[in-house]
Amino acid sequence: MNKRDNQIGAEEASIRPTRDQAEQAVRTLIRWAGDNPEREGLIQTPARVARAYREFFSGYDSNPMQILATTFSEVDGYDEMVVLKDIRFESYCEHHMVPIIGRAHVAYLPEHRVVGISKLARLVDVYAKRLQIQEKMTVQIADALNTVLQPKGVAVILEAAHQCMSTRGVHKPGASLVTSRMLGAFRDDPSTRREFLSIVGHSTIAPLPNS
Ligand SMILES: [Zn+2]
């Protein structure tokens, strides 16, 4: 690819294709799989897939900082950790575009501000509903929370099954990847970290369903 092509590529990438172009791409993939996109059972499929993609990847339309924008400073001296555990998420591996299904445990130790708990779940979704790698998603969730709330510490654990591992490649269903990011007190203070790990029951957590 020469320099000029590269520039055009970058410009094109920033402009969303039309619905028609998206459906055309699905038809191409159906043909690539070996089927006929014009047969009756598949005729509506490109439109359905295009719609499904708007939902699968809705995270691109939301700003995580905006979600966290409303914080509450009246915490009445509450200074214990806030933990939301077992937040189910569905994401999509950026290497194969197949699902990553798992759960997140998100915690922080408030300094001055707290945020509504539903916002923690939405924060996970905003980053999940994109093309992802789990390690990056873990960092993004933790860092967003840390930036907005400026708490004494943040902890995020993600555990997920990757369909690119279970349905293709090495074919290992049931394996789950665990990633974590610990900031502030969760990183520096072993007793804080231990308390968090025991709250989320990390050592005794039930296995993920095979997916
Ligand atoms: Zn993959």
User: What is the CA(20)–ligand 1 centre distance, in A?
Assistant: 27
Is residue 52 domain-shared with residue 77, that is, in the same domain?
A: no
- Is residue 87 scored above 50 in pLDDT? yes
pTM of the full structure: 0.86
Report the pLDDT value the prediction gives residue 9, as an integer from 0 to 100. Answer: 60
Report the pLDDT value the prediction gives residue 211, as an integer from 0 to 100. Answer: 38
User: What is the CA(167)–ligand 1 centre distance, in A?
Assistant: 10
Residue 209 covered by a domain: no
Q: How many independent structural domains does the chain possess?
A: 2
By annotation, the residues acting in catalysis are: 93-96, 134, 162, 164
Per-residue pLDDT averaged across 158-187, rounded? 90
Residues 99-147: tens digit of each pLDDT? 999 999 999 999 888 898 899 999 999 999 999 999 999 999 999 999 9
Residues 13-63: tens digit of each pLDDT? 678 899 999 999 999 999 999 999 999 999 999 999 999 999 999 999 999
Is residue 123 domain-shared with residue 34, that is, in the same domain?
A: no
Confidence of residue 204 (pLDDT cuts 50, 70, 90): very low
Please give the radius of gyration of the chain, using alpha carbons only, rounded to the nearest integer. 20
User: What is the CA(140)–ligand 1 centre distance, in A?
Assistant: 19
Residue 186 covered by a domain: yes
Comparing 92 with 11, the larger pLDDT belongs to: 92
Comparing 166 with 2, the larger pLDDT belongs to: 166
Residue 83 covered by a domain: yes
